[in-house]
Structure 1
Amino acid sequence: MNDILDFFIPVLPALVVGGLAYYFFDGFLKNEDRRRRFILHKEFQSETLPLRLQAYERLTLFLERANLIQLLIRVKPTSSDKKNYVDLLISQVQQEFDHNLSQQIYMSDECWNIIKSSKNTLIAQLRKQVLNTETTSADALRENLITSYSEAEDPIYVALSYLKTEAKELFS
């Protein structure tokens, strides 16, 4: 029994010191790893922030150009056929959207889905106007769209509001 006690008396302080050293060294390494990750994240964020802002700017421009009133002002009818005019409007919106497809990687899925949904809703609204039998020409269709326009129901306005909100979160 004395042999065991004689063995543990010098070994026990060494084990305690070794355990404490391991505990503090492990904590230090974990803290260093977190610090390195934070620095990398901060550097990555400072490099991607301008790209993300540019994506938000481009999609804001897309939404402004897809705004029904802006679209009607910018795109004039080429003939009196209302179906051809609506097809031209839809083509313009779709081309603008296709031009900005790559910007989706810089924003949340929810924001991108809202933008897609607003574009699809606008296209559906335009197609619905073609079915209106009261309007017979492209010019009459334009007048009808302008007079019936309401910003409260505008899907583009909703998407633009959400896009602005998400862009502001980049700075908070």
Structure 2
Amino acid sequence: MNTSKIIEIIMYCLPALLTGGVAYYFFKMHVDNEENRRRYHLLKSTQKDVLPLKLQAYERMTIFLERTNPAKLVLRISPMDQNPTNYANMLIQTIENEFEHNLAQQIYMSPEAWQIISKSKHAIISNFRHLSTKVETADELRTLILTNIATENETSTNLALLYIKNEVSQLIG
């Protein structure tokens, strides 16, 4: 074979290779675009199904925070006897039961929101234990809890509720 034949073959193959490369590039772009479109539609349909579950979880944890708000809790639950430690333990047990009842909600919530709710619960429990050592009777404990709440600007439950409201507004907004 001589060089003119090789050049002629190259001249025929070069446009074919170039056309094939451009076709491959456009075909790959199209396939990638279709894949991204499918992912978007799948995510959108999944989001549509999961959003109500997320909102329900936030609603349930809002109810938990409202039910475990110390002011509402001591008004709802009366002491069985005048021992402040027993009363504090009864309040703590109520909080723990409420929390255990809603443990599954953490699946649908952000880790930050769940952590804030857990910290709120622990702060309330710690506060009840601390205040129960300062009084002689369960009625005094109730009064001390209510006055302590009245003097605080922001309780842990209010802060947790505020965080939940912000997250929900981001979810639906």
What is the aligned partner in structure 2 of residue 75 from structure 1?
A: 77
Question: CA–CA distance in 2 between the matches of 1:15 and 1:145?
Answer: 82
What is the aligned partner in structure 2 of residue 152 from structure 1?
A: 153
What is the aligned partner in structure 2 of residue 140 from structure 1?
A: 140
- Give the aligned residue type for 2:35: D
2:153 aligns to what SS in structure 1?
helix
What is the aligned partner in structure 2 of residue 125 from structure 1?
A: 127
Question: CA–CA distance in 1 between the matches of 2:98 and 2:153?
Answer: 23
What is the aligned partner in structure 1 of residue 15 from structure 2?
A: 13
What is the aligned partner in structure 2 of residue 170 from structure 1?
A: 171
1:40 aligns to what SS in structure 2?
helix
TM superposition shift of 1:153: 3.8
Question: CA–CA distance in 1 between the matches of 2:17 and 2:89?
Answer: 81
Of the structure 1 ranges 23-32 and 151-160, higher mean CA displacement relative to structure 2 is found in 151-160
2:172 aligns to what SS in structure 1?
coil
- Correspondences of 1:32-51 after superposition (within 5 Å): 32-51=34-53
User: Share of identical aligned residues, percent?
Assistant: 44
Question: Cα RMSD (Å) of the superposition?
Answer: 0.9
Question: CA–CA distance in 2 between the matches of 1:129 and 1:4?
Answer: 96
**Alignment TM-score, normalising by the size of structure 1:** 0.96
TM superposition shift of 1:26: 0.2
Question: CA–CA distance in 2 between the matches of 1:27 and 1:148?
Answer: 64
1:152 aligns to what SS in structure 2?
coil
Question: CA–CA distance in 2 between the matches of 1:117 and 1:155?
Answer: 8
Question: CA–CA distance in 1 between the matches of 2:24 and 2:154?
Answer: 64
Question: CA–CA distance in 2 between the matches of 1:148 and 1:121?
Answer: 13
TM superposition shift of 1:152: 2.1
Give per-residue Cα distances to partners, 1:60-112, cap 9 Å, x unaligned.
00000010111011111111111110000000001000000000010111111
Question: CA–CA distance in 2 between the matches of 1:26 and 1:148?
Answer: 66
What is the aligned partner in structure 1 of residue 111 from structure 2?
A: 109
Question: CA–CA distance in 2 between the matches of 1:148 and 1:102?
Answer: 32
**Alignment TM-score, normalising by the size of structure 2:** 0.95
TM superposition shift of 1:130: 1.4
Question: CA–CA distance in 2 between the matches of 1:171 and 1:2?
Answer: 70
What is the aligned partner in structure 2 of residue 97 from structure 1?
A: 99
2:16 aligns to what SS in structure 1?
helix
Question: CA–CA distance in 2 between the matches of 1:167 and 1:95?
Answer: 25
TM superposition shift of 1:7: 0.4
